[in-house]
């Protein structure tokens, strides 16, 4: 047996293991009892790994590895999304840098350039996912623009079109004048911006009771060119006399009516609302109700169209300024107020979106949302955490028809064909240039492409052979669980459920796990523009994939937002350090060192079953059985954070700090029989522990397992840990021993109290101390039976036990549940001097805390200081408060 290296190098070991797993076919679809098929949320083909991906993929791989070890049929489907807007934007920029134009080169050549781009950059994120250790079948990669996937997308469109669920209509959409395409409501990002509320006077065509004009309040004066009405609230009796009258719209001299409508809030502005049906969704609705003309005053680039004199050709901002100036010059600008309001922006280029009337393709959702709501209400699809169920249901209740057309070239082109000769129109599975109705050759295809969410909604079944080979789905659909972010519950999760129910007559997945949103250290969202995003690749380069993966899982709690502890260089934004990931790496090191110690003491070892020869053996095997039960239950219930944190507490706190330490005596000085049995116990405990830890920390556990001999669990017939069996709770149930755990825990608490006292007062770990324990009679009896253990392990000279023990002179007390433990320090510590030293430390800490709190209460400091500086101050205040509490307790104890 080759000795394990003294140090573990993840940067060297991890890539080697990945290659071994891939070469051995470990990532391929496995067969077993029960199915665990998972689809990876497809990242953008030209994207790179970010912390959200890292969290998502760590969770999925943990779940897949666990199920593979349980002997279930596992399939993890990899794929990327063509990312219509994102890819087209990048290719546009590349062409522009080369002095080329998309419009001049034409659609076909531009699409060739997009394919070249995806071939060049499309593998980046896939290789990064592989570097994380994700055990996906990389030989079975999917792409939303592949021929087979494109055929599935086309079938869905054609079927819905012919079933009356897809239609073309002129509606208000969110238009990006830079990207030149419609954006769905769910893709718009809202930014709070400082703006103004302009109060403009519209003259009445005929005065009413001496009133010559009304005043409207608007945040967008430029759109008044398209006004075709003025609305008031039906709950505003003061304005009732003006309903039915008309005003003369300034600049354009258009006579428009005043009417009442429930959309109007009588308390907003003046209570008079200008209505521009072509540039506001509420105005569009009012326009339809009151038969108002729809006048679109902007072109696709958000410039004023011809016909508006000096304002024609101006962009939105120029027109706003010019129109306000015109109102002011003509005495029609009443006044201006400052206003902070929320403005929609394009999620790609951050341009303010324009509500714009245009002809688009829509999915009518009324027939789809009912079944998709019911399967969640009935529990056929479950959300974890459960609270996201209501988010989904609320969105479904308010669901509107979905705009699916995009004015792009890169993507799935809408398969609708038109005849210019006879007006024929139809959606077809195959392209045609001949009209089937009149035989004419003037046939053209719709120029728009489909929203990328339209294609990705088919992800669970179009990646598994549908529609041409539905037999490939058998046993793998519905999939087990979808792991995704809360941001796309509406964009993706709901649409997947609707489409899957319609075309496969079953849900796409049984469970939806919504993972935590990872925020920057200061609590803000990570973003490229802020430069506060942490690069997962940098974390892996510095700490290893195991440490990054493990740290991410430990961050998961019942709260959805988690702050990622990382320090970045202010100029380069490169990673400096990540303290929590550093702690995770320390855990990796602990696993390696503990395992190496055991391996170095296995001379003469032969495989055999574990046995409870001592109190610590019985305690350890019982604790191991409980760890197996807990880890199994937690992974079955998607409790990933508890799983990761509990296993560290178990392995580091119980296996390493206690059991291995307690076994050293028998390993070094025991009889041959004692030595062999403790070797078998240790190998068994390590074997089971590595299996439990493997799903989240695959690399170090695989390396340790490979270096260990066979245990009593099995004969190591599997070549790799990742394909070995998961320890089943039922198989370890006989080890559960409540009394052994209770008895050992009592003794362990006494020893821990003695050790912590030594550490607190800076005494040698081997200094012999006298200890007195006051406890209930039944606990005294247990401790009496453990006297030898407590004295030898705790380095206790005299141990007094009893229900009526008094506190000895010169001792300090440590309360631990029902036990009162008194550790006699005697002449080892000058208690008076120690008290004075602690008093000084306390005064210093209290002074610093007061100063820190004064700084944090200074509004000027909070307003001007960088968020990370403020957070650092808050963290320090929390540390000081904890220190002060501990110091006061120590002083009280000495008194």
| 96-149: pLDDT as tens digits | 999 998 889 999 999 999 999 999 988 899 999 999 999 999 999 999 999 999
The string of pLDDT tens digits covering residues 207-245 is 998 899 999 999 999 999 999 999 999 999 999 999 999
CB-based contact 256:272 (threshold 8 Å): no
Tell me the CATH number at 658: 1.10.730.10
Q: Are residues 204 and 282 in the same domain?
A: yes
pLDDT band of residue 837 (cuts 50, 70, 90) is confident
Domain boundary among 300, 323, 345: 345
3-state SS assignment for residue 166: strand
What pLDDT, on the 0 to 100 scale, is given for residue 131? 97
Model confidence at 317: pLDDT above 80: yes
Q: Are residues 748 and 842 in the same domain?
A: no
Q: Are residues 670 and 793 in the same domain?
A: no
Cα diameter, the chain? 113
The string of pLDDT tens digits covering residues 373-387 is 999 999 999 999 999
Contact residues for 203 (Cβ-Cβ < 8 A; gap 6+): 212, 213, 247, 248, 250, 332
What pLDDT, on the 0 to 100 scale, is given for residue 712? 74
3-state SS assignment for residue 83: coil
Domain boundary among 740, 766, 783: 740
Residue 241 is assigned to a ligand binding site: no
As a whole number of angstroms, the distance between CA 130 and CA 149 comes to 23
**Can you name the residues that pair with 813 across neighbouring β-strands?**
822
As a whole number of angstroms, the distance between CA 235 and CA 264 comes to 9
DSSP codes joined into one string, 791-806? HHHHTEEEEEEETTPP
As a whole number of angstroms, the distance between CA 489 and CA 395 comes to 9
CB-based contact 561:516 (threshold 8 Å): yes
Q: Omega before 589 cis (within 30°)?
A: no
3-state SS assignment for residue 600: helix
As a whole number of angstroms, the distance between CA 182 and CA 602 comes to 68
Model confidence at 559: pLDDT above 90: no
Our count of domains for the chain comes to: 4
Asked whether residue 723 is assigned to any structural domain, the reply reads yes
Range in 392-406, 744-758, 851-865 with the lowest mean pLDDT: 851-865
**Looking at residue 308, what DSSP letter applies?**
S
Q: Are residues 277 and 213 in the same domain?
A: yes
What pLDDT, on the 0 to 100 scale, is given for residue 464? 96
Q: Which two tokens stand for residue 415?
A: 């398969």
- Cα angle for residues 178, 182, 187 (degrees, 5° grid): 95
What pLDDT, on the 0 to 100 scale, is given for residue 503? 98
DSSP codes joined into one string, 623-669? HHHHHHHHHHHHHHTT-HHHHHHHHHHHIIIIIIIIIIHHHHHHHHH
Q: At what angle do helices 787-794 and 777-785 cross, to 10 degrees?
A: 70
Asked whether residue 865 is assigned to any structural domain, the reply reads yes
Q: Which residues of 402-414 are buried (b: 16+ CB within 10 A; e: fewer)?
A: bbbbbbbbbbbbb
Average pLDDT rounded to a whole number, residues 831-835: 76
Q: Which residues of 742-779 are buried (b: 16+ CB within 10 A; e: fewer)?
A: ebbebbbbbbbbbbebbebbebeeeeebbbbbbbeeeb
Tell me the CATH number at 274: 3.90.740.10
The string of pLDDT tens digits covering residues 428-461 is 999 999 999 999 999 999 999 999 999 999 999 9
Average pLDDT rounded to a whole number, residues 744-753: 91
What pLDDT, on the 0 to 100 scale, is given for residue 468? 95
10 Å Cβ neighbour count for 431? 10
Contact residues for 550 (Cβ-Cβ < 8 A; gap 6+): 584, 587, 588, 644, 648, 696, 697
The string of pLDDT tens digits covering residues 36-47 is 999 999 999 988
As a whole number of angstroms, the distance between CA 694 and CA 690 comes to 6
Model confidence at 463: pLDDT above 80: yes
Asked whether residue 516 is assigned to any structural domain, the reply reads no
The string of pLDDT tens digits covering residues 274-304 is 999 999 989 999 999 999 999 999 998 999 9
3-state SS assignment for residue 820: strand
CB neighbour class for 689 (10 Å; exposed up to 12, middle 13-18, buried from 19): buried
As a whole number of angstroms, the distance between CA 759 and CA 767 comes to 11
Contact residues for 292 (Cβ-Cβ < 8 A; gap 6+): 228, 229, 275, 277, 286
Q: Are residues 318 and 249 in the same domain?
A: yes
What pLDDT, on the 0 to 100 scale, is given for residue 341? 80
CB-based contact 417:428 (threshold 8 Å): yes
Q: Are residues 730 and 648 in the same domain?
A: yes
**Nearest to residue 696, comparing CAs of 891, 889, 545?**
545
Average pLDDT rounded to a whole number, residues 506-530: 90
**Can you name the residues that pair with 193 across neighbouring β-strands?**
341
Model confidence at 743: pLDDT above 60: yes
The string of pLDDT tens digits covering residues 318-331 is 999 999 999 999 99
Asked whether residue 874 is assigned to any structural domain, the reply reads yes
The string of pLDDT tens digits covering residues 682-725 is 999 999 999 999 999 999 999 999 999 988 776 567 889 999 99
**Nearest to residue 487, comparing CAs of 192, 281, 184, 280?**
184
Q: Are residues 605 and 639 in the same domain?
A: yes
Asked whether residue 501 is assigned to any structural domain, the reply reads no
CA-based R_g, the chain, Å:
35
Which domain does 788 fall in, by range? Answer: 741-829
Asked whether residue 446 is assigned to any structural domain, the reply reads no
What pLDDT, on the 0 to 100 scale, is given for residue 178? 83
Asked whether residue 883 is assigned to any structural domain, the reply reads yes
The string of pLDDT tens digits covering residues 799-830 is 999 998 888 888 887 777 778 888 998 778 77
**Nearest to residue 803, comparing CAs of 771, 777, 781, 770?**
777
What pLDDT, on the 0 to 100 scale, is given for residue 895? 66
Asked whether residue 731 is assigned to any structural domain, the reply reads yes
Range in 54-58, 603-607, 795-799, 834-838 with the lowest mean pLDDT: 834-838
Q: Are residues 809 and 666 in the same domain?
A: no
Torsion of CA 183, 451, 366, 494, to 10 degrees: -100
| Percent residues over pLDDT 90 in the chain | 73
Round the average pLDDT of the chain to a whole number and report it.
Answer: 92
Average pLDDT rounded to a whole number, residues 361-384: 97
What pLDDT, on the 0 to 100 scale, is given for residue 767? 86
Model confidence at 560: pLDDT above 80: no
Q: Are residues 221 and 305 in the same domain?
A: yes
Give the chain's length. 895
Domain boundary among 810, 829, 848: 829
pTM: 0.86
Q: Are residues 208 and 275 in the same domain?
A: yes
The string of pLDDT tens digits covering residues 647-690 is 999 999 999 999 999 999 899 899 999 999 999 999 999 999 99
pLDDT band of residue 186 (cuts 50, 70, 90) is low
Q: Are residues 748 and 733 in the same domain?
A: no
Q: Are residues 667 and 778 in the same domain?
A: no
What pLDDT, on the 0 to 100 scale, is given for residue 716? 63
Q: At what angle do helices 698-707 and 579-600 cross, to 10 degrees?
A: 10
What pLDDT, on the 0 to 100 scale, is given for residue 809? 83
């Amino acid at each position: 047996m080759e000795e394990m290296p003294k140090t573990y190098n993840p940067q060297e070991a991890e890539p080697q293991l990945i290659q071994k797993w891939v070469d051995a076919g470990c990532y391929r679809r496995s067969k077993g009892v029960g199915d665990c098929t998972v689809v990876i949320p497809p990242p953008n083909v030209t994207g790179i790994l970010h912390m959200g991906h890292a969290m998502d993929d760590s969770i999925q791989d943990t779940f897949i590895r666990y199920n593979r070890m349980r002997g279930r049929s596992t399939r993890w489907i990899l794929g990327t999304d063509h990312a219509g807007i994102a890819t087209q934007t990048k290719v546009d920029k590349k062409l522009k840098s080369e002095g080329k134009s998309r419009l001049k080169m034409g659609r076909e050549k531009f699409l060739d350039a997009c394919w070249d781009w995806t071939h060049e950059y499309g593998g980046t994120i896939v290789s990064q996912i592989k570097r994380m250790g994700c055990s996906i079948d990389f030989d079975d990669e999917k792409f939303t623009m592949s021929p087979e996937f494109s055929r599935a997308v086309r079938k869905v469109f054609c079927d819905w079109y012919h079933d009356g669920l897809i239609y073309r209509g002129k509606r208000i959409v969110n238009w990006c004048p830079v990207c030149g395409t419609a954006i769905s409501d769910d893709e718009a990002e809202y930014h709070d911006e400082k703006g103004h509320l302009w109060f403009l006077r519209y003259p009445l065509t005929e005065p009413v009771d001496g009133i010559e004009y009304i005043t409207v309040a608007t945040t967008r004066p430029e759109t008044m060119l398209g006004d075709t009405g003025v609305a008031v609230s039906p709950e505003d009796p003061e304005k009732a006399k003006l309903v039915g009258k008309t005003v003369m719209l300034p600049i354009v001299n258009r006579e428009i009516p005043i009417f009442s409508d429930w959309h109007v809030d009588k308390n907003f502005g003046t209570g008079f609302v200008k209505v521009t049906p072509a540039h506001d969704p509420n105005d569009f609705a009012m326009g339809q109700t009151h038969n108002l003309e729809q006048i679109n005053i902007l072109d696709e680039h958000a410039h004023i169209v011809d016909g508006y004199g000096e304002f024609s050709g101006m962009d939105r901002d120029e027109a706003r300024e010019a129109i306000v100036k015109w109102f002011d010059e003509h005495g029609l600008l009443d006044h201006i107020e400052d206003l902070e309001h929320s403005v929609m922006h394009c999620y790609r280029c951050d341009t303010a979106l324009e509500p714009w009337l245009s002809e688009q393709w829509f999915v009518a959702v009324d027939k789809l949302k009912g079944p998709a709501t019911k399967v969640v209400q009935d529990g056929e699809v479950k959300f974890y955490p459960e609270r996201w169920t209501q988010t989904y249901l609320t969105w479904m209740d308010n669901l509107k028809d979905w705009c699916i057309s995009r004015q792009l070239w890169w993507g799935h082109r809408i398969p609708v064909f038109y005849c210019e000769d006879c007006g024929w129109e139809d959606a077809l599975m195959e392209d045609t240039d001949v009209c089937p109705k009149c035989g004419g050759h003037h046939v053209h295809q719709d120029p728009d492409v489909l929203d990328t969410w339209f294609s990705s909604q088919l992800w669970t079944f179009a990646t598994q052979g549908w529609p041409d080979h539905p037999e490939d789905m058998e046993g793998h659909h519905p999939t087990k669980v979808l792991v995704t972010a809360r941001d796309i519950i509406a964009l993706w999760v709901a649409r997947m459920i609707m489409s899957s129910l319609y075309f496969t007559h079953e849900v796409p997945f049984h469970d939806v796990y919504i993972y935590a949103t990872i925020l920057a250290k200061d609590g803000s969202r990570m973003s490229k523009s802020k430069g506060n995003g942490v690069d997962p690749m940098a974390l892996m380069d510095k700490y290893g994939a195991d440490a990054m993966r493990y740290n991410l899982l430990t961050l998961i709690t019942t709260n959805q937002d988690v702050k990622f502890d990382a320090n970045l260089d202010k100029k380069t934004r490169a990673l400096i350090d990540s303290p929590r990931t550093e702690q995770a790496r320390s855990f990796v090191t602990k696993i390696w060192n503990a395992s190496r110690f055991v391996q170095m003491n296995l001379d003469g070892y032969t495989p055999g079953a574990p046995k409870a020869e001592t109190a610590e053996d019985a305690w350890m095997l019982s604790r191991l059985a409980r760890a197996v039960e807990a880890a199994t239950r937690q992974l079955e219930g998607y409790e990933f954070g508890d799983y990761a944190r509990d296993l560290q507490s178990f392995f580091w706190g119980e296996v390493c700090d206690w059991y291995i330490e307690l076994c050293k005596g028998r390993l070094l000085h025991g009889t041959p029989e004692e030595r062999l049995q403790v070797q078998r116990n240790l190998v068994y405990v390590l074997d089971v522990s590595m299996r439990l830890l493997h799903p989240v920390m695959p690399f170090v556990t695989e390396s340790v397992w490979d270096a260990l001999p066979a245990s009593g669990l099995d004969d190591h017939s599997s070549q790799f840990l990742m394909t070995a069996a998961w320890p089943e709770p039922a198989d370890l149930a006989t080890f559960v021993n409540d009394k052994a755990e209770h008895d050992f825990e009592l003794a362990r608490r006494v020893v821990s109290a003695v050790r912590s006292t030594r550490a607190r007062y800076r005494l040698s770990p081997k200094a012999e101390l006298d200890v007195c324990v006051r406890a209930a009679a039944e606990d005294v009896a247990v401790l009496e039976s453990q006297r030898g253990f407590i004295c030898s392990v705790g380095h206790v000279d005299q141990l007094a036990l009893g229900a009526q023990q008094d506190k000895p002179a010169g001792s300090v007390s440590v309360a631990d549940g029902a036990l009162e433990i008194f550790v006699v320090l005697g002449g080892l510590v000058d208690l008076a001097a120690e008290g004075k030293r602690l008093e000084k430390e306390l005064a210093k800490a209290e002074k610093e805390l007061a100063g820190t709190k004064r700084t944090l209460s200074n509004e000027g400091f909070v307003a001007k200081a960088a968020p990370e500086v403020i957070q650092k101050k808050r963290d320090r205040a929390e540390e000081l408060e904890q220190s002060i509490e501990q110091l006061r307790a120590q002083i009280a104890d000495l008194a």
